[in-house]
Amino acid sequence: MKKSFRLIPMVILVTAMIAVNGARAQIQVVTTLQDLRSITESIGGELVEVFAIATGYQDPHFVDPKPSYILKLSKADMFVTVGLDLESGWVPPLLESSRNAEILRGAVGYVDASENVPLLEVPTSISREGGDIHIFGNPHYWLDPVRGKIIAENICRGLIRVDPEHEKIYRQNLKIFREEIDRKLTEWVRRMLPFKGTKVVAYHNAWPYFEQRFGFQVVEFLEPKPGIPPTASQLAKVIETMKREGLKIIISSPYFRPQSADLVAKNVGGGIVVTLATSVGAEEEIVTYMDLFDRNTQFLIDALEQAGGSAGD
Ligand SMILES: [Zn+2]
């Protein structure tokens, strides 16, 4: 009797130790976007457990903070953010509520994925005039796979900071990731080549990095300013431009209501709305960062071919 009584606390102790070891075994990472999750998993492999806050079919500018996110952040070893002002409406309150000093800006566990990324559309003066939500330059840089390699470097450095013991593995995985991007990029660029210079319009200004990399051109937006919903006068302007220049393609995203884009397509005559993914997870098939470009280039090529391939030339 006496013996078994002593056993019980020991069993509890052993179980508790396993639980602690289990939790420490993997570096706990929270990312804002699914794209950053996918890249972190590529670099961290089995050494990391990654949770992304936004789903792939959510507008990354506008995410509702939930208590479950705060709980994840409070236990995280590392936090990865797109930065600039992409998540400025929802990340600061979440980080503050997490009370986790290890992942605050400037701490070892804080990774700003935009570090060293060459930015486009950086304004000469910072202003939210008219509700503009791209005030530090265009924040949608993860839609260029070459910049994706810089994101991966930033994440790699972050992982080495929080887990220096496994530096060699992280560096090796970074090398593999970079090589895979280089290999796939050749194929993506080759497929897009016949459409070089093609002009299109887009709902939101999310595509400058993607268009520069793949050689097409967005000339007008349904939103009068980034983050401001389409207005009647803006749509009229877009329709006029498309008619004048013979443009057919309207790029939208999964989280925009279809009415405005459909209206423009209808008024242009033969207009085609193509919904591109702005993040991993926007569709079931888009599981990894590589899938994002596989699918988006294919969607765009299909639409361009349907439009005759020479619109705007
Ligand atoms: Zn934006």
- Kindly list the structural domains of the chain, giving each domain's residue range(s) and its CATH number in brackets, ordered by start: 21-186 (3.40.50.1980), 194-306 (3.40.50.1980)
**Cα distance between residue 211 and residue 119, in whole Å:** 14
- Side-chain-side CA neighbours of 188 within 13 Å: the count stands at 27
Residue 205 Cα to ligand 1 middle (Å): 6
The residue type found at 297 is T
Mean pLDDT rounded to a whole number for the chain: 91
Q: What is the pLDDT of residue 24?
A: 54
Q: Which of 32, 285, 62, 50 is nearest to 142 (CA)?
A: 32
CA 165 / ligand 1 centre spacing (Å): 37
At residue 135, the pLDDT reads 87
- The answer to whether residue 16 scores a pLDDT higher than 50 is no
Helices and strands in the chain, H and E counts: 10, 8
Question: How far is ligand 1, taken at its centre, from the CA of residue 204, in Å?
Answer: 7
Centre of ligand 1 from the C-alpha of residue 230, in Å: 14
| CA of residue 231 to ligand 1 center, whole Å | 17
66-79: pLDDT as tens digits: 999 999 999 999 99
Alpha carbon of 233 to ligand 1 centroid (Å): 21
What is the 278 CA–ligand 1 centroid distance (Å)? 10
Q: How far is the CA of 85 from the centre of ligand 1 (A)?
A: 9
- Given a cut of 90, whether residue 49 has pLDDT beyond it is yes
Write down the residue that tokens 């939103």 correspond to: 223
Torsion angles phi and psi, residue 11, rounded to 5: -60, -45
